[in-house]
A and B are shown apart, each in its own frame.
Chain A
Amino acid sequence: MNHALTIYWRLLGVQLRSQLQYRLAFFFDVVAMSSTIFLEFASLALVFQRFETLGGWTLGEVAFLYGLEELSFGIMDMVFSGFDPSYFGQEIRRGSFDQLLLRPLNLTMQVFGSKFVLRRLGKIGMGLAVFLYAQTLITVTWTPAKLLYLPFVVFGMVCFFGGLFIAGATITFWTVESIEVMNIFTYGGGYLIAHPMHIYQTWLRRLFTYVVPAIFLNYYPALYFLNKPDPFNFPAIAPFVAPLVGILALLASLAFWHFGIRFYQSTGN
């Protein structure tokens, strides 16, 4: 395991160096990536010019939610690049995954090390910027406990969406092409939890509470950070299960991933 970790860092180094070889292209990629987030957020902010609140939440409060989600999703998108289903499907088609099987190294570690999209820093940076902008609009009463819990919330979302990436990548063992339906959960899910979730219709909210428990990742922690009352009367622990939800999702998808590898080795493609 130690060995695999050392190799992971080396592979990461390879990725970083090759991406920084073309500095100008990298720079423009980062700018493009952050402008997408900026425009998305700007259009959201424009809505507030007219309606002032979204489901009772001010722009600052929504920005808090939005920034935290974008920041976390961006980190996930960077660290789990190798599992991005559209990329991983290509690797299966090209037979590059077979090359990984031929190396005496942990497979999961190798996939992590096979791609690391550094330009996601643009997304992460913009997410952070929106989150900090929120602090200028509203006064969040930060306590040591809240500050301590904040990284765990980010961690929870990174694990959760990373798990979705891994599950999506695993499905390509069967389908070869990445399936669009997965995007509903990854990108759609990300967009969904970037907004106050009580504004959605009941069925949708229930889907993302009981089937895919994404509501606990960002919305409930935000209720806690912003000292807002819980409109759904969940137990008081609800804001604090975010890291657990993330880890469980990740573990479940890793189990699925190992099952998928066994399937792949029995069928090939």
Chain B
Amino acid sequence: MITVQNLQKHFKLNKQYRGAWGSVRTLFSREYEVVKAVDDISFEVARGELVGYLGPNGAGKSTTIKMLTGLLVPSGGELAVNGRLPWRDRQAYVARIGAVFGQRTTLWWDLPVIESLELLQHIYHVPNGRFRQNLADFETMLELKPFLNTPVRSLSLGQRMRADLCAALLHDPDLLFLDEPTIGLDVVAKERIRQFIRHVNRERGTTVLLTTHDLSDVQKLCDRVLIIDRGKLLYDGSLDALQTRFGGRRELVVDLAEPYSDVSVAGATVVARENGRVTYQFTREEIGASELIGRLSQRFRIQDLAVREPDIEATVRRIYEERLLEN
């Protein structure tokens, strides 16, 4: 569905001048520096995939999204969606995609939600029957009913996001771009939106490209992630594989029923010990959790235990900060 080959986007940043005539000077200035926002990226996304697009701030995520949505023209490489060049025939292209940018709304500020949706129906030429059908579906799933007649400006952030999601999907797009769809929402609202995204992807077959900083979104939704930093694609694969590779160590916390002088066990190291509670660290490659538990229960009487998976958030932060994926 999406084919990206050696995609590049270089910006010339004009030198900015200050003062009363600053903007005029900037306008005629010839001094600039080149910023490689996207530098030689290639990937493909198949129909029906739900792919997470990750990267720290300023990595080139939004520049890529802007090119994929036809807002920006690439400075090099190839980019095709359904065989189409997004910027070539803008109107025809955007009629087939949907986009939600978490920070902004596509809806009309002063209009009640339902009227915004009806306006979009006309803009996208959605036949009446299809519109009613879709609206009925989304209304239930996103619980839009209570605020359908409320002007957009009076909606809470979560309500607005649900309305925006509905607005982006009314015309049955093949491809949906989501940029931070859960930003600023509470746990319940986040979960509802995730469920909805999963539903749209599975039941409607909509291909979804999800940009987010919230890794639990990605963990719960995406089988595949792309990680980009400083304009380069660093990783293309599953989040689990990334976790196994860089996730560091799992932890097993054991409450022992009796005091033992030696609590060591083969395959794991003791990292903490207080009273009867011992914390072991181990890696997936060395030993499985059940085997470790087996070894321990042979030697000790165990009262209680818990396995702690390494925090994906911490893993990815480490990947960014220590540039683990760069060679």
Contacts and interface: CB of A to CB of B under 8 A. Distances in A.
Interface string B160-191: 00000000000000000000000000000000
Interface stretch (B23-31, B214-222, B271-279, B312-320): B23-31
A17 B119 CA distance: 14
Contacts of A53: none
Interface stretch (A117-125, A247-255, A261-269): A261-269
A177 interface: yes
Contacts of B110: 14, 17-18, 21
A95 B20 CA distance: 25
B73 A266 contact: yes
Interface residues of A, number: 31
Nearest to A97: B71
A6 B115 CA distance: 16
Given A18-B111, A104-B95, A265 B72 contact: yes
A183 to B, nearest CB: 13
Contacts of A267: 11-12, 72
A44 interface: no
Interface in B63-109: 63, 66, 69-73, 75, 87, 90-92, 94-95, 97, 99, 101, 104, 106, 108-109
A266 B72 contact: yes
Nearest to B92: A104
B132 interface: no
B124 interface: yes
A102 interface: yes
A17 B112 CA distance: 11
B123 interface: yes
Contacts of B108: 14, 18
Contacts, number: 82
B308 interface: no
A127 to B, nearest CB: 28
Given A7-B123, A18-B109, A18-B111, A268 B23 contact: no
A168 B167 CA distance: 32
Nearest to B168: A102
Interface residues of B, number: 36
B161 to A, nearest CB: 15
B35 to A, nearest CB: 11
Interface in B6-29: 11-12, 20, 23-24, 26-27
B23 A104 contact: no
Interface in A1-34: 3, 6-7, 10-11, 14, 17-18, 21
Contacts of A101: 69-71, 90, 94
A181 interface: yes
A174 interface: yes
A268 B63 contact: yes
B27 A102 contact: no
Contacts of A17: 110-111
A103 B94 contact: yes
Contacts of A21: 110
B111 A96 contact: no
A265 B71 CA distance: 6
A174 B99 CA distance: 26
Contact of B27 (A7, A103, A174, A180): A174
Interface in A68-121: 94-96, 98-99, 101-106
Contact of A104 (B94, B109, B115): B94
Contacts of B123: 7, 103-105
B164 to A, nearest CB: 11
Nearest to A268: B72
A176 to B, nearest CB: 8
Contacts of B202: none
A171 B27 contact: yes
A177 B122 contact: no
A10 B71 contact: no
Nearest to A110: B123
A175 interface: yes
Contacts of B24: 175, 179, 181
Interface of A: 3, 6-7, 10-11, 14, 17-18, 21, 94-96, 98-99, 101-106, 171, 174-175, 177, 179-181, 265-268
3 nearest interchain CB pairs? A18-B110, A104-B95, A104-B91
5 contacts: A10-B119, A98-B101, A265-B71, A265-B72, A268-B72
Given A95-B104, A101-B69, A101-B90, 20 more contacts: A6-B122, A14-B108, A14-B115, A14-B119, A18-B110, A18-B111, A96-B104, A98-B71, A99-B104, A101-B70, A101-B71, A102-B71, A104-B91, A104-B94, A171-B27, A175-B23, A180-B20, A265-B72, A265-B87, A268-B63
